[in-house]
Amino acid sequence: MPLHSVLLRLDRALEDRSPRPALQGPQRLLRELLWFGIKEARACIFAGAFFLAVFAVPRGGWLGLPRYDLLLAIALLLQAWLLWRRIETPDEARTILVFHLAGFALEVFKVSGGIGSWSYPDAGHTKLWGVPLFSGFMYAAVGSYIMQAWRVLHLRIERHPPYWMTTVLALALYANLFTHHYIGDFRWYLAAVAVGLYARCTVVFTPLDRERRMPLLLGFLLVGFFIWLAENLGTFFGLWRYPHQVGAWATVHWGKWTAWAMLTLMCFTIVGSLKHVKARIQFAP
């Protein structure tokens, strides 16, 4: 059976939220954990496939093409396939493009702006200012996960702070990634603001047939942790390299976990704000 047919059938199954009154106790817990894992894996379709390619493509490239160029081609083909098979909507693809452009701009600044925060050691025909074009898809993968999870887990946010406040916070966090090299680093002040804004905020999700809740801030930390793990794998395979990893590989500093949690907050704010704006648009008959 073609993969897209499997995914479409899975999506129909994931939409089924009919009550399961017969499930009680440990049986219900195990079933909900199983379906939560399935939905999380479904939400990671772009991120998972892309990072599988990261690990599968040899460092020396293939068929005369450098690894970075192959990864860009795979990311573009994967994106086109998801759109073609309607597994991803055009709105989601446009949002992913925003993440890609914002991420690539940050990469160029950090790598080639005299900062040298990390480097891409391999050669490639699709490198601009020392940064391979595929790198923006690593940020887009985070945005793709949030959008897919929003849909398959039927996310709902309770006590969401005013959208203009969260948008200003997200812009300030993104700007601080650039400005802290020249003026003070305000990330912890901004993190304190984020805690204040989202302290009462709860994310409601549906693993099976009942809604479950958890603090939204905890969700940011969990997603940030898994991105930190993926970053360790990426550097282990030599895709990019931090200065302390030049001689020999070492784990990425724990401080990056909080940075990724803040990036998750920024991506979540973009997705949430776009959904909010779209819901408010009234089309004339």
DSSP 159: S
Digit-coded pLDDT (tens) for 184-233: 889 889 999 999 999 999 999 988 888 899 999 999 999 999 999 988 88
- CB-based contacts of 230, cutoff 8 Å, min separation 6: 51
For residues 132 and 67, the answer to whether their CB atoms sit within 8 Å is: no
Digit-coded pLDDT (tens) for 42-77: 888 888 888 888 888 888 778 778 999 999 999 999
Supply the angle between the helices 90-112 and 163-179 in degrees, to the nearest 10. 30
Q: Average of pLDDT values for 142-147?
A: 88
Residue-level pLDDT at 285: 40
For residues 121 and 162, the answer to whether their CB atoms sit within 8 Å is: no
* Torsion sign, CA atoms 256, 99, 215, 153: negative
